[in-house]
A and B are shown apart, each in its own frame.
Chain A
Amino acid sequence: MSEAKAPGIIRFSGVTKEYPRTGTALAGVSLEIAKGEFVFLTGPSGSGKSTLLKMIYLEERPSHGDVKVSGVLASSARGGDVATLRRKLGIVFQDFRLLEDRTAEQNVSFALEVIGTPRTAIGPKVARALAQVGLASKAASLPRELSGGEQQRVAIARALVNDPFVLIADEPTGNLDERATRGIFQLLREINGAGTAVVMATHDLELIRRSGLRTIELNRGQMVFDSAAEARPAEDNA
């Protein structure tokens, strides 16, 4: 970490996560993600990508080591700290996780309502987020009336609506076709261009190769590659 760049907003220090039944999900992972950075997280299924992302939004806590996100330490964070931190994060999943009985607009505004945003501020923010993902004209549509790519855009709008400093995307293109994948990736690049850091887990090696962005690879819970590091670890034979 000798290069001069923006300070780390996410820092993992020797993080190990063990589950009583399934064993070790992460083993001694140390990494740092800077403000405004775009990072791909890749590796085979079960390599620990989702566990690592869950640790960023404090859904999981380390068994050993520590995670620091925007000044909040996982080891000492309480319920209120977690809620406050998550208001500054945007999270997107492969399965969209939208409320099926609410329109695109209502799905996005829900994220603001439940954290007590004043009603007068909600409308403009929701309109701006939907416009940012290119869905202003579909604000009144229910999720079932939208394509997969559009549903994922609604999920991204919901993640963006509170101006997060980082967007965590857990295989956001996993359920999408090639064209929708490109569209979503392009959108994430634009969001990143506006200053929001993006951490995206994906299996799409072609997408990673073409982008030339920082890539972290996990295998069996260990970090086997980080393109930001000067050299690959010796044990990496992937």
Chain B
Amino acid sequence: MRLAFREAMMGFQRAPLLSALSIITIGFSLFAFGLFGLVALNIRNAVQQVEERVEIRAFLTDGTPVEAAAAAVGDVSGFPEVLKAEFVSKEQALVLAKRELKEFREEFDASVLPASIDVRLKDGYRDPRTVAAVAARLRAYPFVDEVRYGDDWVEKVYRLRNIATVAGIALGLAFAAVSVIIIGATIRMTVLSRAREIAIMRMVGATDSFVRSPFLIEGFTKGILGGLMALFLTWAAHQIISSQLIETQFFDPKLSMLGVAAGALIGALGSALSVGRHLRDV
């Protein structure tokens, strides 16, 4: 293992230009992937924020006893899909309306606004069918006059989320595939530049796994360095976009580390494939 590590490090020393080129190529490939990831993350967050606003409001008939409404709130809170259910009295509704629609502040009157039970759903239960099903169950209460949840709007948000998910996965896979191909080709150049060394190793009786090991270490190291470079470039792009165009969110530390680890994995995998192919061909 020590020799494999030494050989890997010597690979950097003997061909510094090629090694730098490999790292830069890996870095830019992962940077393209990182930029896409940044866009996907921010789209997902935006859609999630919109989704979080999905709310079902069950308006109660005038004169509904507070005890009955409270019992219904307790009941609804127990629904598996429900994150939170709360009773909003006529007075609270007035305060909310005045806060949300300031320009009509003077027009509102407590007698006009009905009391309601406001229901928020858990993540994963905000699709149109579930929203409609919960709304139907709320309608079953005899004191519920009307249930509103913006069915058109929920439908559109849900469709947007689906499109974003499918497009994200498809584009993500395409970017990842392109990265693997470019990185594989770069590592293949390294392998070819050391074809004589590989041939000698095999000639004197080194096992194929031994021959592979320095290249795996080299590919892994290049992947980490390329990943760190991509992370820095993506962070710089995020800073520029946030300051010049629109406030965006960056990857959290766990996701950042995952990106670097993906670089290392792609580097090692690219090396394994390139060396494996070379060993089969010669």
Contacts and interface: CB of A to CB of B under 8 A. Distances in A.
Interface of A: 57, 79-80, 83-89, 91, 97, 99, 101, 110-111, 113-116, 158, 162
B79 interface: no
Interface of B: 3, 14, 196-197, 199-208, 210-211
Of listed B201, B206, B211, residue having the most chain A CB within 10 A:
B206
A123 to B, nearest CB: 15
Contacts of B200: 97, 99, 110-111
Contacts of A84: 205
Contact of B3 (A88, A89, A99, A114): A114
B282 to A, nearest CB: 9
Contacts of B197: 99
Given A97-B199, A99-B197, A79 B208 contact: yes
Contacts of B205: 83-89, 114-115, 162
A115 B206 contact: yes
B87 to A, nearest CB: 74
Contacts of B3: 113-114
Task: Please classify the interface of chain A as helix (H, G, I), strand (E, B), loop, or mixed, using the class held by over half of its residues.
Answer: mixed
A162 B204 contact: yes
Given A83-B207, A97-B199, 12 more contacts: A83-B206, A83-B208, A86-B202, A86-B203, A88-B205, A91-B203, A101-B14, A110-B200, A110-B204, A111-B200, A114-B201, A114-B211
A86 B205 CA distance: 5
A86 B208 CA distance: 13
Contact of B204 (A79, A80, A87, A101): A87
A80 B202 CA distance: 11
24 contacts: A79-B207, A80-B207, A83-B202, A83-B207, A85-B205, A86-B204, A86-B205, A87-B204, A87-B205, A88-B205, A91-B203, A97-B199, A97-B200, A99-B200, A110-B204, A111-B204, A114-B205, A114-B211, A115-B205, A115-B206, A115-B210, A116-B210, A162-B204, A162-B205
